[in-house]
Amino acid sequence: MIQLKINGEEKSFSGDPEMPLLWYLRDELGLTGAKFGCGTGLCGACTVHQNGAAIRACITPMKRAAGKEITTIEGLGAQKLHPVQVAWIKHEVPQCGYCQPGQIMQAAALLRTNPKPTEEDIDQAMSGNICRCGTYQRIKAAIADAARGRAR
Amino acid sequence: MMIENVSRRGFLGSLVSAGALVLGVKILPQPALADASANGLRADAAVLHPSVYLGLDTDGTVYIVCHRSEMGAGIRTTLPMILADELEADWKRVRVEQAPGDEKYGSQSTDGSHSVRDFFDPMRQAGATARLMLIRAAAAKWGVAEGECMGRLHEVVHTPSGRVASYGELAAAAARLAVPKKEELKFKSPDQWRYIGKEVPGYDIPAMVTGKAQFGMDVRTEGMLYASVERPPVLGGRWKSVDDAAALAVPGVRRTAIIPPFKPPHAFQALGGVAVLADNTWAALQGRQKLKISWEDGPNGVYESQRYKGELQATARRPGKVVRNVGDVEKQFALGGRIIEAEYYVPHLAHAAMEPVVAMAHYQDGKVTAWASTQDPQASQETVAAALGIDKRNVTCHVTLLGGGFGRKSKPDYVAEAAILSKQAGRPVKVVWTREDDIRFDYLHAVAAMYMKARLDESGKPTAWLQRSVFPPIVSTFEQNAEYGGADEMGMGWTDVPFDLPNHRAENGAAPAHVRIGWMRSVSNIYHAFAVSSFADELAHQAGRDPLDYLLELIGGSRKIDLKAQGVDYSNYGGTPAEYPLDTARLKHVIQLAATSAGWGKRKPGNGWGMGIAAHRSFLTYVATVVEVEVDGNGKLRIPNVYYAVDAGLTVNPERVRSQFEGAAVFGTSVALLGEITAANGRIVQSNFHDYPVARIHQAPVRTSVQVVNNSEPPAGIGEPGVPPFPPALCNAIFAATGKRVRELPLSKHGFA
């Protein structure tokens, strides 16, 4: 039995310990905010927080999430929108929107450890998250805004 | 999930399956569910419902039905903006509902960049109809002349007295009136527009940033199974033997099922294969890995990209089928002098939307309800109906948000898979394609070889221009063994080259298809614009001329080009020549705008810095692009700026126009720099983002600025036209910066990164 916390709630899981966290979140819990994009950690659509750090849920087996605190996009702004989400709305970042929960979780994790990222820091931190619609320019602007506190 | 709560409360009768309200749940406020229509659309059940596109309730809520698919272009904002404007509705009281597939809405095929073009008038008409009915209801109530009343921000106002009545309180009375004829309607004048041409926040954006937006991948319902399908690795292949014992032993796997092979031509039919059905996606994927299948490849097992490339190029060097001819190019070439030849090549490309294709279907008693991430719910209905041998009226197709489409999700083979499997399983089945499936079983963008030849006079102007393109055509998806491009494909940047040339011939050579060929964002324009705009730049340099000046001279005087008069079979994207002429003045105008905003000519190119220009009309929209590039000694590119100028006629949603062009520059970067799909032994070699890379944040243009020419010409396309000019503009910039001409994409195969 694997115990973990999802968005602040205690959960226990008794299935295949090799099953990636992504499918537990999506298929078992119905938390479909984290997306399936590649299944191999290449695109970042499945990004969630594990103890505050960004991880790829599609390559994180349940056994490695044991005892961890997981936050998904559903939990990120549950009380009040996160400044990154506010900036995303202000800059109208999403096009199709599919990769955006992952982008937002990645950006929020970046600002947690690096509140004033340079453009290079942003490129570095966000280069694992693909957006096929090509919203990168707005992602950068939104992160910069959130970092400057303009989007609060 | 709210849907489970709803169904547990027994809210839904047997006529409406649990999942039928998946979309309804997302969009509708909870109390509205009880009296929503069978399709779950509140608009249909609203008190005032004079058009399939809207409903108005007594509480004043306006339900606007979007019948086109949202995949990022913002159509669920843009079409409702038009209707709400003409209705004089308060945008805050508008709820957008997604239509299922139904002929009553008109075309729902969301490709070809024509949603606004085709539905600007119907949306206005729906809004104006409801407004007039509300005005008439108010006038009757007050005993005043209809002409003294007007709609104003969700109210009818009696202008002389200042009396007002809200749309909600008038809805019931308006609903008792006859629906006015189109001739009776009074449309707002452009200076009265409240939303059209203004900044309106994207309707779905708040849901997208909180994870609440529901995509096809997110659809769930009680009792469903998740399926993953092992398909024949070669198009038209068949299994010789299947051993599913190990797959069935995986915990969570419920069963396997066979999807029969298609009957040629493949069109939108399921490819066939062996499916594993399980309690969750992970179990289905694990089970699928344990299938033991031996395949018989069939004739397409010969497909090998390197050899095929040589065949395309050889064909392009020989005379082909003439698709446009002016004067006599051969006579000119026979004169000798300065003859320039060049060959260009663009490989197969995959759509690779971030959401792999996905659909859920539930077969019950001869009827199917599907939930699909689809660009074409009516084609989905037809494909499912044909696959199961039922009438298409017995297929309901709900449309979710699409996690990208780019043309792939116009082809509903995966919806057919879900329906076939649900019928066998007796339960709702969601077919989840992996990224590997999505890339290997795509309807690929055609690989293309182009051969160009020109003769220059002493001033450097071409006296003759010959262009040949060879590619496996989209036609082959619908007609077995078709080898020539259709008029639509040839009309995308080939027969419609807008240059003023005394001797000009365009040709097309034959190429057999060995994989499924489909349309991808801007389609044949991609390879045609690459050849034409690269060659124009090459000739400019050969002539010792500035590429901008040379391009403007190639286009020549301002005129409307009548291709039909030249004997060209030209479809003009379905636009009439009267409404949508090929107008060189508009093309030159965007070129000048883009060049001006880029500061063209102010800095001397070379030493690893340069600018390139390309202009291209597609989907009836005129686009010019200037790309600025920096190239270091290792061939590493940086694209500091991209300047677009766009004339798409009347612009409804300028914010989404800008975002589509920003995105087109990134899509164009992927095409130019990174994308290549190849086949070996008939199998697609690439499988995921490690070997089919697409542009990431650090590779994308740093800043793309978009200048939108908003005029009163009829609206034209937005989603696609930004892509074609980008790759040649980038390659032209690289030439300016380095002196190196790249004629084959992707750039990553030619020393650039």
Of B281, B688, B694, the CB nearest to A40: B688
Distance of alpha carbon B24 from the chain centroid:
25
Task: List pLDDT tens digits, range B602-630.
Answer: 999 999 999 999 999 999 999 999 999 99
The amino acid at B322 = V
Residue A19 with chain B: CB contacts under 8 Å? 280, 282
Residue B433 with chain A: CB contacts under 8 Å? none
- Is residue A149's pLDDT more than 90? no
Hey, what CATH class is B37-210 in?
alpha beta
A130 to B689: CB separation less than 8 angstroms, yes or no: yes
Q: Which two tokens stand for residue B332?
A: 């000119």
- Residue of chain A minimizing CA distance to B691: A42
Task: List pLDDT tens digits, range B318-332.
Answer: 999 999 999 999 999
* Whole-angstrom distance, CA of residue B361 vs CA of residue B432: 12
| H helix count then E strand count, chain B | 21, 29
Residue A16 with chain B: CB contacts under 8 Å? 251-252, 282-283, 286
**What confidence score (pLDDT) does residue B347 get?**
98
A23 to B401: CB separation less than 8 angstroms, yes or no: no
Query: Could you tell me the domains of chain A?
Result: 2-76 (3.10.20.30), 83-147 (1.10.150.120)
Residues 6+ positions from B599 with CB-CB distance below 8 Å: none
**% chain B with pLDDT above 70:** 95
B695 to A134: CB separation less than 8 angstroms, yes or no: yes
Which is it for strands B637-647 and B703-709: parallel, antiparallel or unpaired? parallel
What DSSP line would sit under B303-364, residue for residue? --HHHHHHHHHHHHTS--EEEEEES-HHHHHHT-SEEEEEEEEE-BB----SS--EEEEEEE
Asked if B326 and B499 touch (Cβ cutoff 8 Å), the reply is no
Distance of alpha carbon A81 from the chain centroid:
14
* Whole-angstrom distance, CA of residue B659 vs CA of residue B347: 27
Mutate to test the interface with B, among A137, A138, A145 (most CBs of B within 10 A): A137
Nearest by Cα to B723 from B677, B667, B672: B667
Task: List pLDDT tens digits, range A96-113.
Answer: 999 999 999 999 999 999
Residues 6+ positions from B178 with CB-CB distance below 8 Å: none
- Beta sheet of B621-631, edge-to-edge order: B609-618, B621-631, B637-647, B703-709
Residues 6+ positions from B270 with CB-CB distance below 8 Å: B259, B260, B262, B387, B413, B414, B416, B417, B420
Task: List pLDDT tens digits, range B46-85.
Answer: 999 999 999 999 999 999 999 999 999 999 999 999 999 9
Q: How confident is the model at residue B40 (pLDDT cuts 50, 70, 90)?
A: confident
Q: What is the pLDDT averaged over residues B637-645?
A: 98
What separation, in Å, do the N-terminal and C-terminal C-alpha atoms of chain A show?
40
Residue B11 Cα, gap to closest chain A Cα (Å)? 20
Of A92, A97, A122, the CB nearest to B213: A97
Of A20, A27, A99, the CB nearest to B354: A99
Q: Which residue has the tokens 């073009």?
A: B117
Helical (H) or strand (E) element with B720: none
What separation, in Å, do the N-terminal and C-terminal C-alpha atoms of chain B show?
44
Residue A106 Cα, gap to closest chain B Cα (Å)? 13
Interface predicted TM-score (ipTM) over 0.90: yes
Residue A130 with chain B: CB contacts under 8 Å? 354, 689, 694, 696
Mutate to test the interface with B, among A98, A99, A118 (most CBs of B within 10 A): A98
Of A23, A43, A104, the CB nearest to B689: A43
Q: Domain B216-299+357-432 carries which CATH code?
A: 3.30.365.10
**What confidence score (pLDDT) does residue B354 get?**
98
Q: Which residue has the tokens 């693909």?
A: A130
A133 to B700: CB separation less than 8 angstroms, yes or no: no
Of A31, A104, A136, the CB nearest to B700: A136
Q: Which residue has the higher pLDDT, A117 or B7?
A: A117
- φ and ψ at residue A107, rounded to 5 degrees: -65, -40
Of B212, B352, B697, the CB nearest to A132: B352
Q: Provide the β-strand partners of residue B278.
A: B226, B253
A96 to B280: CB separation less than 8 angstroms, yes or no: no
- Is residue B387's pLDDT more than 70? yes
Q: How confident is the model at residue B710 (pLDDT cuts 50, 70, 90)?
A: confident
Beta strands in B365-471, from DSSP E residues, in sequence order: 367-372, 395-399, 429-432, 448-456, 462-470
* Whole-angstrom distance, CA of residue B441 vs CA of residue B744: 24
Residue A99 with chain B: CB contacts under 8 Å? 354, 403
- Is residue B23's pLDDT more than 90? no
- Residue of chain A minimizing CA distance to B667: A134
Q: How confident is the model at residue B37 (pLDDT cuts 50, 70, 90)?
A: low
Residue A20 with chain B: CB contacts under 8 Å? 282
Q: How confident is the model at residue B753 (pLDDT cuts 50, 70, 90)?
A: very high
Q: What is the pLDDT averaged over residues B414-424?
A: 98
- Is residue B20's pLDDT more than 50? no
| DSSP letter, residue B103 | G
B209 to A89: CB separation less than 8 angstroms, yes or no: yes
Other residues' Cβ atoms within 10 Å of the Cβ of residue B298: 15
Residue A140 with chain B: CB contacts under 8 Å? 697
**What confidence score (pLDDT) does residue A151 get?**
64
Residue B209 with chain A: CB contacts under 8 Å? 77, 81, 85, 88-89, 93-94, 97, 100-101, 104
Residue A82 Cα, gap to closest chain B Cα (Å)? 10
A94 to B280: CB separation less than 8 angstroms, yes or no: no
Given its phi and psi angles, is residue A57 left (phi above 0), alpha (psi -120 to 50 degrees) or beta?
alpha
Residues 6+ positions from A80 with CB-CB distance below 8 Å: none
Q: How confident is the model at residue B102 (pLDDT cuts 50, 70, 90)?
A: very high
What is the interface size between A and B, counted as CB pairs within 8 Å?
Answer: 199
Mutate to test the interface with A, among B200, B209, B371, B653 (most CBs of A within 10 A): B209
- Beta sheet of B367-372, edge-to-edge order: B253-259, B273-278, B225-230, B429-432, B358-364, B367-372, B395-399
B435 to A101: CB separation less than 8 angstroms, yes or no: no
Task: List pLDDT tens digits, range B224-233.
Answer: 999 999 999 9
Residues constituting chain A:
152
Lowest mean pLDDT among A11-25, B2-16, B318-332: B2-16
Q: How confident is the model at residue B36 (pLDDT cuts 50, 70, 90)?
A: low
Asked if B642 and B624 touch (Cβ cutoff 8 Å), the reply is no
A38 to B689: CB separation less than 8 angstroms, yes or no: yes
Rg (CA), chain A: 15
Q: How confident is the model at residue A130 (pLDDT cuts 50, 70, 90)?
A: very high
Region(s) of chain B under CATH 3.30.365.10: 37-210, 216-299+357-432, 305-350+443-750
Residues 6+ positions from B8 with CB-CB distance below 8 Å: none
Average pLDDT taken over every residue of chain B = 94
Task: List pLDDT tens digits, range B178-202.
Answer: 999 999 999 999 999 999 999 999 9
Q: Is the dihedral of CA B643, B648, B650, B654 positive or negative?
A: negative
- Is residue B24's pLDDT more than 60? no
- Taking domain B305-350+443-750, whether its CATH number is 3.30.365.10 is answered by yes
Asked if B736 and B541 touch (Cβ cutoff 8 Å), the reply is no
Of A35, A42, A77, the CB nearest to B403: A35
- Is residue B28's pLDDT more than 90? no
Mutate to test the interface with B, among A21, A132, A138 (most CBs of B within 10 A): A132
Task: List pLDDT tens digits, range B667-693.
Answer: 999 999 999 999 999 999 999 999 999
**What confidence score (pLDDT) does residue B14 get?**
31
* Whole-angstrom distance, CA of residue B493 vs CA of residue B114: 18
Residue B215 with chain A: CB contacts under 8 Å? 32, 35, 97-98
Residue B405 with chain A: CB contacts under 8 Å? 96
Residue B91 Cα, gap to closest chain A Cα (Å)? 17
| DSSP letter, residue B215 | B
**What confidence score (pLDDT) does residue A150 get?**
73
Q: To the nearest 5 percent, what fractions of chain A are helix, strand and coil?
A: 40, 15, 45
Beta strands in B619-674, from DSSP E residues, in sequence order: 621-631, 637-647
Q: Which residue has the tokens 């036209």?
A: B721
Q: How confident is the model at residue B19 (pLDDT cuts 50, 70, 90)?
A: very low
**What confidence score (pLDDT) does residue B39 get?**
76
- Residue of chain B minimizing CA distance to A135: B663
What DSSP line would sit under A85-145, residue for residue? HHHHHHTT--SS-TTHHHHHHHHHHHHHH-SS--HHHHHHHHTTS--TT--HHHHHHHHHH
Q: What is the pLDDT averaged over residues B248-260?
A: 98
Residue A69 Cα, gap to closest chain B Cα (Å)? 19
- A35, B254, B465, B690 from B638: Cα distances, Å: 30, 51, 33, 21
Q: What is the pLDDT averaged over residues B387-391?
A: 98
